[in-house]
Amino acid sequence: MRIGELAKRAGTTTRALRFYESEGLLEAQRTPNGYREYDEHHLRLVREIQSLQAVGLSLEDARPFVACLRAGHESGDSCPDSREVYRRRLAEVDACLDRLATVREFLLARLAFQDPCLVPEPKEFQCSN
């Protein structure tokens, strides 16, 4: 299939596909007249990249998953390098959640200091104004 058809089937743009190619994530076969030629495996790679980006992973993070698929594995996350990306990103998410919990506690404490009735309370007990 040509680049336009791959873009349509993947729900992306030809520009995005060319960018993936320039980043080394997608390698097109070339016809004698220079047209890019893709197959179902390329579609699988693009969908893997898109699914990773949809959950916030970068193109750099996607590299091990693409390499895993290129190596013939059924899933992009079945290789150790891919799982390491998951572990690293999970640690980053956990750290972010910890920071957010700290911010939340700070905000609740500040509200409670100013007016205890402004602090969200369990539904069983609510301050009356």
pTM for this predicted structure = 0.78
Residue 127, domain member (yes or no): no
- Flag whether 63 is in a domain: yes
Dump strand ranges (E) for the chain: 29-30, 36-37
- CB-neighbour burial class of residue 82 (10 A; exposed 0-12, middle 13-18, buried 19+): buried
Question: The domain spanning residue 60 has which CATH number?
Answer: 1.10.1660.10
The 10s digit of each residue's pLDDT in 53-107 is: 999 999 999 999 999 999 999 999 999 999 999 999 999 999 999 999 999 999 8
Q: Examine residue 122 and state whether it is found in any structural domain, yes or no.
A: no
Give 107's Cβ-side CA count (13 Å radius): 7
Q: Is residue 126 part of a domain?
A: no
Per the structure, the count of domains in the chain is 1
The range of the structural domain enclosing residue 39 comes to 3-117
